[in-house]
Amino acid sequence: MLTNETLKVIKERRSIRSYKKEQIKDGELQAVLEAGLYAPNAGGQAWHFTVIQRKEILEKINYLAKENLKSHVVEDLKVLGNDENYNGLYGAPTLIIVSGKKEFVPLEFDCAAATQNMLLAAESIGLGSCWVYFPIFAFDSPQAADLRKELKMPDGYSPYCSLILGYKDISISDMIERKMNLVTFIK
């Protein structure tokens, strides 16, 4: 089977949910963001990245998301909202919210591609990362307009994806076997 550095990073990347408190370096953050900017898109790069590293704002996003989930129709999400010890950001020092321009189609896919590029870039430089939807629930709360303003999100953009970054406080070395029967060949 063919292999190279890119394929190795893809296979080794794992969702990290345990982080050291230390903030990542600016150069590392810039490398991750640049990878996001180079993601495939339907034209026009109709996305915007909001980087949050201020602890008080991270705590606020976690709080608003949990408050919103307390009355969610999905029982598992309601349980998370009511769990006072649950932190949907897993203590990561950096959160990146990927928003897409509302009138642009298919912005969800473009935002997802940018998020995946950033996750792979993070792994390639030794950072831990995790694709988390949890913070997006904060934007369904009654305080969403104030939060968008506080985060300086541009008008006309909606949050679609988010990822957390930090230095790993856990070591994951086992390679999870993948199901190979998920592919159909028509030759």
**This model's pTM is above 0.85:** yes
Q: 175 lies in a domain?
A: no
Q: 101 lies in a domain?
A: yes
136-176: pLDDT as tens digits: 999 998 999 999 999 999 999 999 999 999 999 987 766 67
Q: What is the pLDDT of residue 183?
A: 82
Q: 126 lies in a domain?
A: yes
Structural domain for 99, as ranges: 5-166
Whether pLDDT at 104 is above 80: no
Confidence of residue 179 (pLDDT cuts 50, 70, 90): confident
Reported residue count of the chain is 187
Query: What is the spatial order of strands in the sheet that 47-52 belongs to?
Result: 47-52, 94-101, 157-166, 128-131
Please report, for the domain that includes residue 79, its CATH number.
Answer: 3.40.109.10
Per-residue CA distances from 95 to 9, 151, 184 (Å): 21, 12, 37
Q: Check if the beta carbon of residue 76 is closer than 8 Å to that of residue 90.
A: no
Q: 9 lies in a domain?
A: yes
Q: What is the pLDDT of residue 47?
A: 93
First to last CA, the chain: 19
Q: 180 lies in a domain?
A: no
51-87: pLDDT as tens digits: 999 999 999 999 999 999 999 999 999 999 999 999 9
Q: 27 lies in a domain?
A: yes
Q: 129 lies in a domain?
A: yes
Q: 182 lies in a domain?
A: no
Overall number of domains in the chain: 1
CB atoms within 10 A of CB 42: 13
Q: Check if the beta carbon of residue 90 is closer than 8 Å to that of residue 65.
A: no
